[in-house]
Amino acid sequence: MLFPNHLTVLRGGGDLATGVAYQLHRAGFPVVVLELAHPLAIRRTVAIAGAVTDGPTTIEDMDVVPVDTPRRAAELARTGTIPVLVEPELPDFGEPIAVLVDARLAKRNIDTTPDQASFVVALGPGFTAGSDCHAVVETMRGHRLGRVIWDGAAAPNTGIPGSVGGAGAQRVVRAASEGSVAWSVAIGDLVEGGDALGRIGDTTVTTAIAGVVRGLIAPGTAARAGLKIADVDPRADRSACFEISDKARLVGAGVLEAVLTRLNTQ
């Protein structure tokens, strides 16, 4: 491990956060991921958060294991395994945090400050580099995706999902009402427009487009109306459901660039 003394902590374990973890892990940083007890990740087959509900997993060649304590997490991270710890706050690891990445994608700054680690990076809108954190990485699809921002903010949230295979908002399935989610399909299944994916309480959840089911929120999740609960990819490439996406890799590359730039200037 090239940077064993640079404990790196990610708050959030969704698919974009997983792309960040993968890049930092491959570059030789010990990485710890913090998640909620009931994660809201959709692309669970390529999200570290999935290990909270589904147990130990391997994402591409990266092993992910749930742990119970911050000290155990820091210890395990230095073996090359990615520990995921259920912890909504920033815990005491018994050592300074070298790099902190706010990868929760809340579209706002919940509680991140630049004094929480030697170097603090945030993903996407809601953060201003220089006041909320040291650097921001752009997450909006397009020419600036993955760009490191050292002064200023990322593009504002539009509320409109980026186009994938020609489909934008149509590919995202949101809860029409409150209730517990139950699925009748699995990630990787092919579906047609209008097909039932499952239910929220007594309400049937359907897809507007044909494609492959790329993401499903964990079954049993208590959804609120409007919550993103599924994703259908019109490109219908089943293998892509089990690989870190191009967007996640670019965002991860941006974070790695920011961290290495910081180290290079110290």
Task: Note the pLDDT of residue 140.
Answer: 95
Q: CA end-to-end span of the chain, whole Å? A: 20
Q: Which helix (DSSP H) or strand (DSSP E) does residue 15 occupy?
A: helix 15-27
Q: What is the pLDDT of residue 48?
A: 98
Q: What is the pLDDT of residue 266?
A: 85
Strands 119-123 and 99-102: parallel
Residue 165 pLDDT = 64
- pLDDT reported for residue 250: 98
Q: CB–CB of 173/228 below 8 Å?
A: yes
Which domains does the chain possess?
A: 8-157+246-265 (3.40.50), 169-234 (2.40.50.100)
DSSP state, residue 203: E
Closest alpha carbon to 194 in 176, 205, 208, 184: 208
| Positions of the chain with pLDDT under 50 | none
Upper half-sphere CA count for residue 62 (Cβ side, 13 Å): 30
pLDDT value, residue 170: 87
Its pTM stands at: 0.94
Q: What pLDDT is recorded for position 179?
A: 95
Say what the pLDDT of residue 107 is: 94
